[in-house]
């Protein structure tokens, strides 16, 4: 199995963070109807309890928990001299959203990089735009020669050239700085010539296990493109060359990222594929008490395989505001980046590949089996990144095998993350084996046209993130934003799940659309179930934690095409307001 290079302290400082405040699960006498902390009323109070929408007239919070939902008259019997009365003025109160899959420390790290995202989140719509953004970043930050530069979020699916930049195009930006630009998927990037020279990469350099170094066979030149583990190697090398970052500055970037999650209505935050540095700093920051959200860590298997005994101490139970949710494995790459592992060829092969290209696995079958077996032997569940249908086949097959061997048990809530290119027969297997998908319907909106015309063709593109079939098969599923692939924006994920409308206005698989209520369940009670927290989060019911969000409009009562325009007005964690618009 491929092992990543040792991590440096500089990498720790750049890629890690988090901090957390301890909270009490205790609450006052539930029978006492006096001096509650806060009463919410006069709005759409959507409880998310049950299979259809249910509204309460008022909600009462005390000591960080919900103590009553029901009529306004009865809620007011909880009013005391110090009780805060919050008039919703017709706005919508509902459970705070839960991040089913994201990468907050990576998001925080790349917030310091040059922003190369296209619309609707950025402005880089062409390679000249990318070049200018990098020049402006180097100039604005007065980056001295020799200091590495990272850009993040370029998207060949959206840029007008519909290709990756080349090393030569990055050389036109700078030959004085080692430069690397990371694709929006996070699974690949492009290096300039100076960076490749510093890394000792030449045309004769072999591909690392689980990775690809881009080479132009005609010209016998390096393209600069790095995929999967080659991409990780480039990032690690570059970060290792960066100036040390004071730990307090690292904390500031995490606090800023946390505010982004709160501003998007989320109080439970995921740090997926966490390397040891992320984990160590999150645990340390948990003692420092500077963060307010609940953090669920998914340790990366490759870099934590020898630490599973230690990690199990934090498995599925919070120490303060931090816990280990599952161990993360990554079986393939990105569909929009054309590195996902498919059973049928890409419609248009990616740069440097011939017709018939189907992508590739990151692990051998044996290595994948042994990794999952090790996780299950330690009594922990697994989340597996599987985008292409070949990767999904591998994930489902291995889960089924390990279930039959008695290692995958019923109480383990294992997840295949993304599961984008998911065939109808595979949806049925999720149900049969008892595995949960976490789908990524935002693809329909952001990359739907690209999937249709370049990646997959109509039949496969129309069935990405097959949410309606999942409902019909009786599968509980979540949806996610995968930040920093997109910002931590779950309302756009809900919009995409409901409408499946592409940028050009095409409906990508109309038969896979779901109702706004079912989409909201996927980011509230279903996500709480995924994390084993359905008893404390995900609905507005007595005894649950008062993690709340106020929206300016009710997603169930507006034109579904305007769901992504809904604004988060306030977010509450444990009954305390942590964000106000």
> In terms of Cα–Cα distance, which of 468, 463, 384, 453 is closest to 423?
463
Report the alpha-carbon distance of residue 531 to residue 100 in Å, rounded: 8
- Which of the following CATH numbers is that of domain 123-240: 3.10.310.70, 2.60.40.1170, 3.40.630.30, 3.50.7.10? 3.10.310.70
Average pLDDT value for residue range 200-205: 96
Distance in angstroms (rounded) separating the CA atoms of residues 310 and 277? 14
Instruction: List the single range of 5-9, 287-291, 301-305 with lowest mean pLDDT.
Output: 5-9
In tens, the pLDDT along 94-116 reads: 999 999 999 999 999 898 999 99
DSSP annotation of 126: S
Domain ranges of the chain: 123-240, 326-514
Distances (CA, A) of 57 to 33, 166, 218: 17, 58, 70
Q: Sign of the CA dihedral 2, 329, 314, 23? A: positive
Q: Is residue 429 scored above 60 in pLDDT?
A: yes
Helix axes 276-288, 247-263, angle to 10 degrees: 80
Report the pLDDT value the prediction gives residue 286, as an integer from 0 to 100.
Answer: 84
Write down the pTM of the prediction: 0.91
Percent of the chain whose pLDDT exceeds 90: 87
Q: Is 11 within 8 Å of 277 (Cβ atoms)? A: yes
pLDDT of residue 34: 56
| Pairwise CA distance, residues 100 & 104, whole Å | 12
pLDDT of residue 283: 85
Identical fold, 123-240 and 326-514: no
Class of domain 326-514: alpha beta
Residue 30 pLDDT > 50, yes or no? Answer: no
Q: Is the pLDDT of residue 3 over 60?
A: no
Q: How confident is the model at residue 240 (pLDDT cuts 50, 70, 90)?
A: confident
In the predicted model, is pLDDT for residue 337 greater than 80?
yes
Instruction: Determine the pLDDT at residue 492.
Output: 98
Average pLDDT, the chain: 93
156 alpha-carbon distance from chain centroid: 20
């Amino acid at each position: 199995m491929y092992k990543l290079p040792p991590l440096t302290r500089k990498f720790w400082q750049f890629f890690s963070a988090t901090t957390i405040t301890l909270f009490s699960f205790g609450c006052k006498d539930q029978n006492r109807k006096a001096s509650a902390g806060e009463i919410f009323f006069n709005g759409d109070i959507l409880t998310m309890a049950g299979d259809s929408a249910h509204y309460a007239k008022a909600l009462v919070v005390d000591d960080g928990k919900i103590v009553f939902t029901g009529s306004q008259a009865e809620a007011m019997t909880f009013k005391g001299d110090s009780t805060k009365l919050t008039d919703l003025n017709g706005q919508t109160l509902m459970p705070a959203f839960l991040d089913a899959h994201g990468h907050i420390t990576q998001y925080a790290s790349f917030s310091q990089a040059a922003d190369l995202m296209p619309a609707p989140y950025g402005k880089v719509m062409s390679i000249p735009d990318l070049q200018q953004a990098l020049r402006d970043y180097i100039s604005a930050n007065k980056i001295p020669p020799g200091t590495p530069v990272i850009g993040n979020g370029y998207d060949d699916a959206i840029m007008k050239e519909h290709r990756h930049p080349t090393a030569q195009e990055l050389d036109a930006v700078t030959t004085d700085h080692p430069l690397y630009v990371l694709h929006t998927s996070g699974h690949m990037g492009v290096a300039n010539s100076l960076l490749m020279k510093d890394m000792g990469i030449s045309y004769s350099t072999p591909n690392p296990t689980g990775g690809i170094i881009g080479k132009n066979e005609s010209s016998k030149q390096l393209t600069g493109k790095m995929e999967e583990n080659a991409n990780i190697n480039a990032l690690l090398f570059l970060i290792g060359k960066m100036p040390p970052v004071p730990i307090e500055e690292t904390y500031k970037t995490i606090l800023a990222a946390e505010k982004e999650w709160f501003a998007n209505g989320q109080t439970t935050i995921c740090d997926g594929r966490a390397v040891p540095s992320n984990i160590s700093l999150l645990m340390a920051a948990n003692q420092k008490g500077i963060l307010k959200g609940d953090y669920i860590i998914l340790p990366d298997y490759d870099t934590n395989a020898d630490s599973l005994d230690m990690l199990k101490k934090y498995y599925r139970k919070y120490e303060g505001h931090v816990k280990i949710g599952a161990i993360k494995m990554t079986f393939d790459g990105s569909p929009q980046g054309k590195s996902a592992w498919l059973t049928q060829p890409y419609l248009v092969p990616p740069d440097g590949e011939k017709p018939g290209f189907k992508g590739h696995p990151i692990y051998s079958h044996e290595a994948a089996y042994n990794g999952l077996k090790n996780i299950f032997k330690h009594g922990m569940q697994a989340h597996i990144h599987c985008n292409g249908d070949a990767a999904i086949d591998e994930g489902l097959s291995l889960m089924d095998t390990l279930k039959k061997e008695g290692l995958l048990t019923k109480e383990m809530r294992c997840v295949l993350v993304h599961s984008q290119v998911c065939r109808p027969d595979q949806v049925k297997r999720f149900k049969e084996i008892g595995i949960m998908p976490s789908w990524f319907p935002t693809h329909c909106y952001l990359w739907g046209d690209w999937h249709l015309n370049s990646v997959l063709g109509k039949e496969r593109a129309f069935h990405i993130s097959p949410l309606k079939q999942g409902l019909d098969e009786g599968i509980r599923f979540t949806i996610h934003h995968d930040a920093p692939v997109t910002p931590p924006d779950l309302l756009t994920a809900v919009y995409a799940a409901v409408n499946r409308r592409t940028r050009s206005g095409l409906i990508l698989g109309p038969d896979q659309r779901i109702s706004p209520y079912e989409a909201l369940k996927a980011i509230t009670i279903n996500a709480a179930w995924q994390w084993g927290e359905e008893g404390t989060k995900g609905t507005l019911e007595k005894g649950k934690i008062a993690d709340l969000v106020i929206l300016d409009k009710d997603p169930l009562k507006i034109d579904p095409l305007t769901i992504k325009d809904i604004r988060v007005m306030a977010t509450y964690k444990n009954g305390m307001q942590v964000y106000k618009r």
